[in-house]
């Protein structure tokens, strides 16, 4: 019986020491995060030197918010970007919406690609391929349905 009590006391002391060590590690990690990982970055690039971005927008059909959604991309406050509107079918009603916006915002670097390129089994990727091949910038962002262009959310 004494051996069992001694073993239980040993386990309890070991458990207590383990608890204290784990608690100290947790406390030290909190201090480390507060001191080292919470610093504001002072080496931010100037706004005009940010990387250029090619925004690929796959389109099919017209939904009630298409015009306002696409317009947010044309009104971005970002130094270098292009909008690549990709429509698969030549009779898609989204083409008229795109042409209207291209006319409304002639100063925005935007292009319309009609007709895809068969590169695989995914129709959306096939639709995007001509725009991807025509992208000016190395940084390419596929902005699918439901993504609105808000520079503060997208680039900062």
Structural domains present in the chain? 50-154 (3.90.550.10)
Q: Look up residue 87 and give its two tokens.
A: 């429509």
- CA dist 145 and 58 (Å) reads 8
Q: Which helix (H) or strand (E) holds 129?
A: helix 123-133
pLDDT at residue 96 in the model:
93
The DSSP letter of residue 138 is S
Least confident of 21-25, 46-50, 114-118: 46-50
Tokens describing residue 51: 């990387």
* Cβ contact 142:154 at 8 Å: no
Whether pTM > 0.85 for this model: the answer is no
pLDDT 10s digits, 41-99: 666 667 778 889 999 999 999 888 888 889 999 999 888 999 999 999 999 999 999 99
Spatial separation of the C-alpha atoms in residues 5 and 11, rounded to whole Å: 10
What's the pLDDT at 37? 76
Please give the average per-residue pLDDT across 8-37, as a whole number.
Answer: 90
Strand order in the sheet with 139-142: 110-114, 81-87, 53-59, 139-142
Confidence of residue 40 (pLDDT cuts 50, 70, 90): low
Would you state the pLDDT for residue 73? 92
Give the separation between CA 132 and CA 86, rounded to whole angstroms. 9
DSSP conformation letters of 52-108: PEEEEEEE-S--TTHHHHHHHHHT---SSEEEEEEES-TT-THHHHHHHHHHH-TTS
Interacting residues of 125 by C-beta distance below 8 A, sequence separation 6+: 119
Q: Does 152 score more than 50 pLDDT?
A: no
According to DSSP, residue 47 is labeled G
């Amino acid at each position: 019986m004494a051996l069992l009590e001694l073993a239980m006391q040993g386990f309890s002391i070991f458990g207590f020491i383990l608890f204290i060590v784990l608690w100290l590690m947790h406390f030290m990690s909190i201090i480390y995060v507060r001191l080292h990982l919470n610093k504001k970055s002072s080496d931010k690039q100037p706004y005009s030197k940010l990387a250029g971005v090619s925004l690929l927008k796959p389109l099919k059909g017209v939904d009630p918010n298409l015009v306002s959604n696409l317009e947010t991309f044309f009104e971005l406050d970002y130094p270098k970007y292009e909008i690549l509107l990709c429509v698969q079918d030549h009779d898609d009603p989204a083409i008229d919406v795109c042409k209207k916006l291209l006319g409304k915002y002639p100063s925005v670097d935007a292009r319309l690609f009609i007709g895809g390129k068969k590169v695989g089994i995914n129709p959306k990727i096939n639709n995007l391929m001509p725009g991807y091949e025509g992208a000016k910038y190395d940084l390419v962002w596929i902005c699918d349905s439901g993504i609105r262009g808000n520079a503060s959310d997208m680039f900062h």
